[in-house]
Structure 1
Amino acid sequence: MKKMNSILQLRFSLVLAVSIATCLASSMAVAQSVCLPAPRLLTTMPMGGQVGTSFDVKITGQHLENADELSFSHPGIIAKKKLGTDGKPVANTYVVSIAKDCPSGVHEARVMTRLGVSTTRAFNVGTLAEVTQTKPNTTLETALKLDLNSICNAVMTRQKIDHYTFVAKKGQRVVVDCASKGIDSKLKPVLIIADEQGMDLLVERRGGALDFTAPETGKYVIKVHGLTYDGGPYYFYRIAVRSAAEKEIVPRLPSIQTVSAFSWPPAGLTDELIRPEVEPNNQHAQAQKITLPCDITGSFFPAADVDTFEFTAKKGDVWWVEVASERLGRPTDPSIVVQHVSVEGKKEKLTDVVELSDIPSPVKISSNGYSYDGPPYNAGSSDIIGKVEIKEDGIHRLQLRDLFGGTRNDPLNIYRLIIRKAAPDFALVGWGLHMNLRNGDRNALSKPIALRAGATMPIEVVVVRRDGFDGEIDLYMENLPQGVTAAGLKIPKGKSRGIMLVTASENAPRGLTSASFLGQATINGKTVTRPCRMASMQWPVKNAWSEVPSPRLLADVPVSVSNSELATITIAPTEDKVWEVTAGEKLTIPLTHIRRSEFSGANITLKTFGAGFERVPAFDAPLKAESSEAVLDLAKLKTPPGEYQIAFYGYAVAKYQENLEAVASAKSELERAKIEAEALSLEAEKLVLNSKTASQVEKANAEKAVKAASEKVKSAQAAVKTADKLLKAATARAKPKDIVDIIVSKPIQIRVNPAKKAK
């Protein structure tokens, strides 16, 4: 009840916040641009394909200049540039081939560009035949016919309804499913099955699938539209029409994972000991008897289902309970109550032992959806990891319910309940750091690890700790591109946050790899290594007042470096060495500034990353000077002896000039076009003079030559105008723009030596 009241209060707060935001939006100035341009892949069409097939895929996005390699997170999917009839590559179009043994599910697509690797977009692989919507089907008359057991890739038209037809026999069961948010779309679909005349028979408005049994043999209509009739290129979807047996459980179309899913499953989990819940078990008298430890699978079905389990335990026993449901992609909120059962006379007496609910976020998240008072990523979950301490011998009952399950009647709302002895462990997730800026930043941007040469990118890493583990965790990366290094600033004992710094040297060659991102700790005397998942925004949100950010997990960790543009400034220690200091003394680290841009403002205020040094007071470094120094007072910090890695970070407003190479290239092209046009004009003039003195026999041929030359001159002059327009456009794009750039120094290694004891 307490939690339900909290939920209602939260809903009220959200409604109030939205109302305030709506009122203020018109009066608020547009936020300053934050973060230098990064390549972002926004759409692929189609959004996937059938195993063992090849097909064309067209991409769109932001800052995809000079896009070349389209790659995927699974090696079973390959792409080659599509060539036109002239043998030249067709812009932003690829021929994609999916191997027969490529696993079904959601994979990642990304493209390598001038600025490095783009953000990823969900790319789906399945076993059903696929088609793509190529013509408008917004009326009953233009409905697209779909075969049973097929998938259609489509884009929603704004303020329209898409129509499809299928044929079914009387009594045949047909399941219609629509993938949208689960494949990175902005669409909130409404699904309708209608009769041949378009009269609605079955409607689904909450994102579920339609389970339909044909009342008669004949043609039926599927109608799809957005909940608010939104549409456009970012409102794409995949609709599947499948025939199913009477009691067959038809899985939903595959979906991307939310950030919370990074903490599931526990390492080493198998299905060997799993057992099903047994209904009926809603009432205490019907409790399903279990022995501990246990591993149970069940579902919150039917609506308002409460699953009750009974076990015997001894005083002093400590058990850890974990429930996965929301992390399995279900819209659920599990809650557990454990009670001790005793008998007084002929009546049972139930005494509460513990109530378990959410997995809290490891770090405070943004209260408003963008990075003003915290990251816009929530690594917590409505699932459960909690401890049960047995206070009395005897029988205990555990009741498991879904707090949102009162009106949900879906057998696919499954859960997994594990009760185990302590198995200390950890799970990691990271994302491109979102800094708390003072200029009204309302951005929640997807940030690919696309490094400019000379830059250091910070990745924020958080940990969910299992079963009492509180040790320190070292972070590291492997399989990085040439010229790229990574330095993990460890997660300290008992803390939840660390930083990974990924640095590209100034002379790093262009490159792309799929890196391994790992965390390592000592647990019960053994070295334990766990992967760190990466999270990113589905869409770049420039103003979180008007659009709610939507983050998700990635399937892998692509890392790239580009030398097309260099970092606006590189701050580094004057020497690449281990800086030594005695505990309790001061350490002065001289820093060099390699500036490649002009900046607004005289100074950058630098803070410090790194356990043991995060309380270093912020200090100013001059942006127009070539050097500065950092002074670390270990007497005030009380940093104990040991090995440390730190970095200094801040933000500054750079006068960013976009793609100066394009300006130089456009100038060269304009000069070439002018020279060619001039040469052709001179040649044409000569031909005109020749035609005037040509004999009567040669006159016709001479006039033909003049006409052909004149056409060439016109084409050349048109090329000059086009080249001039391209130069003006490139020059306009390259005009200095004020962009807030997050600046991080190169990592610095420090050794704190023990203070000498007085004799």
Structure 2
Amino acid sequence: MPYASPRSFVPFFAGLLSCLALADSASAQLPVTQLYALSPPGGRHGTAVDVTISSGTDLDGVKALYFSHPGITAVQKMSPPKLPQLAAEPIANQFTVTIAADVPPGVYDVRAIGTFGVSNPRSFVVGTLPEVKEQSGNNLREKAQAIELNTTVNGTADGNNSDWYKFTGKAGQRLIVDCWAQRIDSRMDATMELYDAAGKQLARSRDFNRRDPLIDFSVPADGDYFLKIYDFVYAGGGEHFYRFAMSTGPYVDYLLPPCGLPGTKGNFTLYGRNLPGGVPADGVTIEGRPLEKLAVQMDVPGDKPTERVPPGTLAKPDEAELDGFEYRFASPQGASNSCFIGYASAPVVLEQEPNDEPAKANVVTLPCEFVGEFGPRGNPDWLQFDAKAGEVYWLEAISERLGLPTDPAVLIQRVTKNDKGEEQAADITDFDDHGANVGGLSFNTTSDDGSFRFAVPADGTYRAMIRDLALNP
């Protein structure tokens, strides 16, 4: 059957991330191993890192950690024997984790294995930058922990306290401070603030990538600067962990088109910051910070749908159905953050501006995947197509499921002409949210994206208007 999927996208702040596995509480009376947090929650590929299970229940006899990538292995740490004739004893909940150099950066599952079975999964991040752990006693600016640029820091919110870090910047550097907490299963609602040596606040961020903050800072002058990080409600404990990378490397906010046909080489435009070879993206900003753009080519994997590995980052239940792959921009300054690129099921058609009026609708041929951007406020997008009676198309908007603060709505019209040759448009239907929840309370699949089965009533010309109700109520 013919298939059309008009998609409308807006610049996104983080790629699609891997789905949290949410399990119902066991009804049996026997205890079950539960893993809540590891410290640190990740490490650099090509290194070994000491890891402690910092929170969990029924951890009796835990002697192994199992990771979803075979290149990540763990060995329980041992204490020296108390007497020469005695064997070394395992240290409870402490492991040495070895990350092979060929493990791609990303988020992987880790499970604990103990007396009461295999635990639930938790996130373990593999990065590319040198890593350090938070040092105790850094709760005051005067005792800020010194860190180097292009480093990843692992820490834990103490509750009723803030963690302070000090770094040296040079005039003209553009620094990206990207904090991961909620996206890697932490309970922390992280907030970051940046200060100069005189104590003046220069930047602040809370919810940028979902509930995680990001600071984009252009260093105004050589000198020392201070980063403050804390939980928004000053909660703390082992389950309130975080990771942040302070980098001068590339950061990709979004790309167009955000999808490609499997097995093809596609042309894409990256929009982001610190893009080597990039040029200013005129008029494109996020939270007041200007973006750059860079044209790239990439191969879209052509593997079979049943063999596709989901991207290794957090996704909500309604996002888990999207098929795609993870992309990182490689540069001499290192790899960028990951971005989600969807697998298209039909030719991809990019929006051509202006198309904010019916008379300026972009003409497309079905089936296709129509890709555009929302904005500015009050600016809908129109597309037009011909169809024959009896044909059936699925029209689907995909935007909110990319983790975006959007609410797409679509109007379908039939276009005819009267006896005088004057154009007339009649509304056929409109659709908005997808209200079906197949997962219940524990896996809610409702979405602000909508879909509609369009059975063409007669030969002719049809139009679709898509707008964001969050921008254009």
TM-score by length of 2: 0.69
Q: Which moved more, 1:62-71 or 1:281-290?
A: 281-290
Q: Take 2:156 and 2:379, find their aligned partners in 1: how far apart are those partners?
A: 38
Q: Take 2:218 and 2:472, find their aligned partners in 1: how far apart are those partners?
A: 26
Structure 2 counterpart of 1:136, which letter? G
2:316 aligned to which of 254, 258, 264: 258
Q: Contact 1:190/1:207 (CA < 8 Å) preserved in 2?
A: no
Once the two structures are TM-superposed, the CA of residue 275 in structure 1 deviates from its matched residue by 3.9
| Structure 1 residues 264 and 82, CA gap change in structure 2 (3 angstroms) | same
CA deviations over 1:310-357 (Å, ceiling 9, x no partner): 222233332112333333333333322222234566875432222222
1:52 aligned to which of 19, 26, 46: 46
TM-score by length of 1: 0.44
CA deviations over 1:362-385 (Å, ceiling 9, x no partner): 4483xxxxxxxxx43213333233
2:153 aligns with 152
| Structure 1 residues 321 and 138, CA gap change in structure 2 (3 angstroms) | same
Once the two structures are TM-superposed, the CA of residue 175 in structure 1 deviates from its matched residue by 1.9
| Structure 1 residues 51 and 302, CA gap change in structure 2 (3 angstroms) | farther
| Structure 1 residues 273 and 388, CA gap change in structure 2 (3 angstroms) | same
Q: Take 2:439 and 2:139, find their aligned partners in 1: how far apart are those partners?
A: 46
Q: Contact 1:304/1:402 (CA < 8 Å) preserved in 2?
A: no
1:232 aligns with 237
Q: Tell me the SS of whatever aligns to 2:236.
A: coil
Q: Take 2:220 and 2:125, find their aligned partners in 1: how far apart are those partners?
A: 33
| Structure 1 residues 127 and 292, CA gap change in structure 2 (3 angstroms) | same
2:356 aligns with 282
Structure 2 counterpart of 1:260, which letter? D
Tell me, yes or no, if structure 1 residue 187 matches structure 2 residue 188: yes
Q: Take 1:68 and 1:342, find their aligned partners in 2: how far apart are those partners?
A: 72
Q: Take 1:105 and 1:63, find their aligned partners in 2: how far apart are those partners?
A: 29
Structure 1 counterpart of 2:90, which letter? P
Tell me, yes or no, if structure 1 residue 325 matches structure 2 residue 394: no
Q: 1:31-180 counterparts in 2 under 5 A?
A: 35-36=28-29, 37-59=31-53, 60-86=55-81, 87-180=88-181
Q: Tell me the SS of whatever aligns to 1:42.
A: strand
Q: Take 2:151 and 2:201, find their aligned partners in 1: how far apart are those partners?
A: 22
Q: Take 1:196 and 1:271, find their aligned partners in 2: how far apart are those partners?
A: 53
Q: Contact 2:346/2:368 (CA < 8 Å) preserved in 1?
A: no
Tell me, yes or no, if structure 1 residue 360 matches structure 2 residue 427: no
2:426 aligned to which of 351, 354, 368: 351
| Structure 1 residues 163 and 269, CA gap change in structure 2 (3 angstroms) | same
Structure 2 counterpart of 1:161, which letter? S
| Structure 1 residues 174 and 234, CA gap change in structure 2 (3 angstroms) | same
Once the two structures are TM-superposed, the CA of residue 122 in structure 1 deviates from its matched residue by 0.9
Q: Take 1:159 and 1:195, find their aligned partners in 2: how far apart are those partners?
A: 23
Tell me, yes or no, if structure 1 residue 218 matches structure 2 residue 211: no
Q: Take 1:229 and 1:198, find their aligned partners in 2: how far apart are those partners?
A: 21
Once the two structures are TM-superposed, the CA of residue 54 in structure 1 deviates from its matched residue by 1.0
Structure 1 counterpart of 2:435, which letter? P
Q: Contact 1:304/1:406 (CA < 8 Å) preserved in 2?
A: yes
Q: 1:119-518 counterparts in 2 under 5 A?
A: 119-208=120-209, 209-243=214-248, 244-245=274-275, 247-248=291-292, 255-265=313-323, 269-270=343-344, 273-301=347-375, 306-343=380-417, 348-363=423-438, 365=440, 375-405=441-471
Q: 1:519-530 counterparts in 2 under 5 A?
A: none
Q: Tell me the SS of whatever aligns to 1:197.
A: coil
Structure 1 counterpart of 2:450, which letter? I
Q: Take 2:293 and 2:38, find their aligned partners in 1: how far apart are those partners?
A: 30
| Structure 1 residues 282 and 227, CA gap change in structure 2 (3 angstroms) | farther
CA deviations over 1:662-720 (Å, ceiling 9, x no partner): xxxxxxxxxxxxxxxxxxxxxxxxxxxxxxxxxxxxxxxxxxxxxxxxxxxxxxxxxxx
Structure 2 counterpart of 1:308, which letter? W
Q: Take 2:204 and 2:358, find their aligned partners in 1: how far apart are those partners?
A: 37
Aligned pair count? Answer: 365
Q: Take 1:35 and 1:75, find their aligned partners in 2: how far apart are those partners?
A: 32
Q: Tell me the SS of whatever aligns to 2:158.
A: coil
Q: Take 1:289 and 1:98, find their aligned partners in 2: how far apart are those partners?
A: 51
Q: Take 1:129 and 1:207, find their aligned partners in 2: how far apart are those partners?
A: 24
Q: Take 1:401 and 1:231, find their aligned partners in 2: how far apart are those partners?
A: 41
Q: Contact 1:81/1:90 (CA < 8 Å) preserved in 2?
A: yes
Q: Contact 1:143/1:165 (CA < 8 Å) preserved in 2?
A: yes
**Larger strand fraction of residues:** 2
Q: 1:632-651 counterparts in 2 under 5 A?
A: none
Q: Take 2:354 and 2:408, find their aligned partners in 1: how far apart are those partners?
A: 19
Structure 1 stretches of 5 or more lacking a match?
1-32, 366-374, 408-759
1:615 aligns with none
Q: Take 1:240 and 1:353, find their aligned partners in 2: how far apart are those partners?
A: 50
Structure 2 stretches of 5 or more lacking a match?
1-25, 82-87, 249-273, 281-290, 295-310, 326-341
Once the two structures are TM-superposed, the CA of residue 303 in structure 1 deviates from its matched residue by 5.7
Once the two structures are TM-superposed, the CA of residue 308 in structure 1 deviates from its matched residue by 2.6
| Structure 1 residues 303 and 115, CA gap change in structure 2 (3 angstroms) | farther
| Structure 1 residues 356 and 129, CA gap change in structure 2 (3 angstroms) | farther
Once the two structures are TM-superposed, the CA of residue 228 in structure 1 deviates from its matched residue by 1.7
| Structure 1 residues 82 and 303, CA gap change in structure 2 (3 angstroms) | farther
Q: Take 2:165 and 2:377, find their aligned partners in 1: how far apart are those partners?
A: 32
Q: Contact 2:108/2:312 (CA < 8 Å) preserved in 1?
A: no
Q: Take 1:149 and 1:220, find their aligned partners in 2: how far apart are those partners?
A: 15
Q: Contact 1:264/1:324 (CA < 8 Å) preserved in 2?
A: no
Q: Which has the higher contact order (CA 8 A, sep 6+)?
A: 2
Q: Take 1:306 and 1:105, find their aligned partners in 2: how far apart are those partners?
A: 36
1:456 aligns with none
Q: Take 1:148 and 1:45, find their aligned partners in 2: how far apart are those partners?
A: 22
Q: Contact 2:346/2:369 (CA < 8 Å) preserved in 1?
A: no
Q: Take 2:169 and 2:351, find their aligned partners in 1: how far apart are those partners?
A: 36
Once the two structures are TM-superposed, the CA of residue 290 in structure 1 deviates from its matched residue by 1.9
Q: Contact 2:135/2:145 (CA < 8 Å) preserved in 1?
A: no
Once the two structures are TM-superposed, the CA of residue 288 in structure 1 deviates from its matched residue by 2.6
Q: Take 1:162 and 1:256, find their aligned partners in 2: how far apart are those partners?
A: 25
Q: Contact 2:344/2:369 (CA < 8 Å) preserved in 1?
A: no
Q: Contact 1:122/1:256 (CA < 8 Å) preserved in 2?
A: no
Q: Contact 1:327/1:383 (CA < 8 Å) preserved in 2?
A: yes
Q: Of the two, which has the highest radius of gyration?
A: 1
Q: Take 2:468 and 2:105, find their aligned partners in 1: how far apart are those partners?
A: 30
Q: Which moved more, 1:105-114 or 1:326-335?
A: 326-335
Q: CA RMSD in A?
A: 3.1
Q: Contact 1:179/1:255 (CA < 8 Å) preserved in 2?
A: no
Once the two structures are TM-superposed, the CA of residue 404 in structure 1 deviates from its matched residue by 2.8
Q: Tell me the SS of whatever aligns to 1:234.
A: strand
Q: Take 2:133 and 2:322, find their aligned partners in 1: how far apart are those partners?
A: 35
Structure 2 counterpart of 1:41, which letter? L
Q: Which moved more, 1:64-73 or 1:267-276?
A: 267-276
CA deviations over 1:581-624 (Å, ceiling 9, x no partner): xxxxxxxxxxxxxxxxxxxxxxxxxxxxxxxxxxxxxxxxxxxx
Q: Take 1:47 and 1:315, find their aligned partners in 2: how far apart are those partners?
A: 57
Q: Take 1:218 and 1:304, find their aligned partners in 2: how far apart are those partners?
A: 44
Once the two structures are TM-superposed, the CA of residue 405 in structure 1 deviates from its matched residue by 4.2
